[in-house]
Chain A
């Protein structure tokens, strides 16, 4: 079946602009996660959704970052007033059972802030 999809695959923006990144999880997966991977760094957790609610937002690095999920499916990660340090690959993952910890990743969005 279809895996996790993300769009756009690449985004180049100017410092100070807002960007929206989209994630479409595997159908039926109730749990959705956003991670960030910077050059030379490990994957950094950003936010977790169970259904449409976000019980864990602890990884969002600043109030410029926000995310929402609608219909228990698609999620959007928004970065306002982008900074150069926001440049990274943003990865979305979904899971059929959050208690298992098994997560399946999308292809990511590579964000470059000039």
Chain B
């Protein structure tokens, strides 16, 4: 059973702080990793993808991947109230490219 685990949350941070979201996965052959943001009542929106070990930065978002530890994280710098949402970690093993999702963690950014 391929699993993707996220901290149960919720996570609350003050505006301007760094929010750190973590995810572990069980399948060592996983090839690509994604973070989706889902606002309440909306569908998931892709915000970051990462394929190789290390950091990938896009604006206020940084994804970090460590395949040896089977760990992927998302850092949100200068958190804004508009970042308040559920963040879903997703992993693709490459077999048919279906994504296995974690249950998500709800982030609340306090003004």
Contacts and interface: CB of A to CB of B under 8 A. Distances in A.
Contacts of B99: 33, 43, 45, 101, 103
Interface in A34-77: 41-43, 45, 48, 50, 55-56, 59
Interface residues of A, number: 24
A101 B42 contact: no
Contacts of A101: 31-32, 34, 49, 92, 94, 97, 99
Interface string B84-102: 0000101010111111111
Interface residues of B, number: 24
Interface stretch (A11-19, A80-88, A105-113): A105-113
Given A43-B90, A100-B97, A101-B31, 19 more contacts: A41-B103, A42-B102, A43-B88, A43-B101, A45-B98, A48-B98, A56-B96, A98-B97, A99-B97, A101-B99, A102-B32, A102-B34, A102-B46, A103-B34, A103-B46, A103-B99, A105-B43, A107-B42, A107-B43
Contact of B32 (A33, A48, A59, A100): A100
A95 B99 CA distance: 12
A31 interface: yes
B102 to A, nearest CB: 6
Contacts of A21: none
Contacts of A95: 97
Interface in B12-59: 31-32, 34, 36, 42-46, 49
Given A41-B103, A43-B88, A33 B42 contact: no
